[in-house]
Amino acid sequence: MNRSAIFIVISFVVYLLAQVMLFRQLVLFNTAFCFLYVAFVLMLPIETNNLALMLIAFVLGFLVDVFYDSLGLHAMSLVLIAYLRNYWLVTITPQGGYDAGEGPTLAANGLQWFLVYTLPLLFIHHFVLFFTEAGGFRVFWFTMSKVMSSLLFTLFVVLFLQYFSFDRRR
């Protein structure tokens, strides 16, 4: 096992524990959730294999589900994101390609690219998650407000962490 693999395993545990112990209890105005664990899948190295990505996502989603008493819900949304992630990364490759050995981070590719990368994927994740949980579109606008406020909250925390690690690296 090389260093980066160990780092990935550790950050898996950290993301999971942060999600179930801290962010699970942190719901703002009864509508804004922070699903930080999605960022773990988004931040895995660019060259990660699609299959491995989906399997990791499934396990992570499943474990989150156990704590939310919502078996299958987070796993389903996260596997979808893991499936879409690599296709989306190819689509938005910057000019000159990605730097070898760099993750899809803000530090490596800049804020604009990072927003283009994370916003749509986070939106799809939250959209699928909340509308599946609501069991359809009966309370559409309320559910939509949950999607949007959670998107803002999650994005805020993700960006905060990106800048935090950005400073440390320099």
Taking the least distance from each CB to other proteins, the nearer of 80 and 122 is 80
To the nearest whole angstrom, how small is the minimum distance from the Cβ of residue 112 to other proteins?
Answer: 29
CA 29 – CA 12 distance, rounded (Å): 28
Residue whose entry in the numeric block shows the structure tokens 């990605």: 98
Work out whether 115 is an interface residue with other proteins (CB under 8 A): no
Q: Does 90 bind other proteins (CB under 8 A)?
A: no
Residue 78 neighbours by CB distance under 10 Å: 28
How many angstroms from the chain centroid is the CA of residue 168? 22
22-81 positions binding other proteins, by CB under 8 A: 22, 25, 27, 30-31, 33, 50-51, 54-55, 58, 61-62, 65-73, 75-76, 79-80
Give the whole-angstrom CA distance, residue 122 versus residue 88: 12
The tokens 């690599």 sit on which residue?
86
Q: Which two tokens stand for residue 164?
A: 């935090």
Minimum CB distance to other proteins smaller for 71 or for 111: 71
Q: What 3-state class would DSSP assign to 46?
A: coil
Q: Is 96 in the site for other proteins (CB under 8 A)?
A: no
Residues that bind other proteins (CB under 8 A): 17, 20-22, 25, 27, 30-31, 33, 50-51, 54-55, 58, 61-62, 65-73, 75-76, 79-80, 83, 130, 132-135, 138-139, 142-143
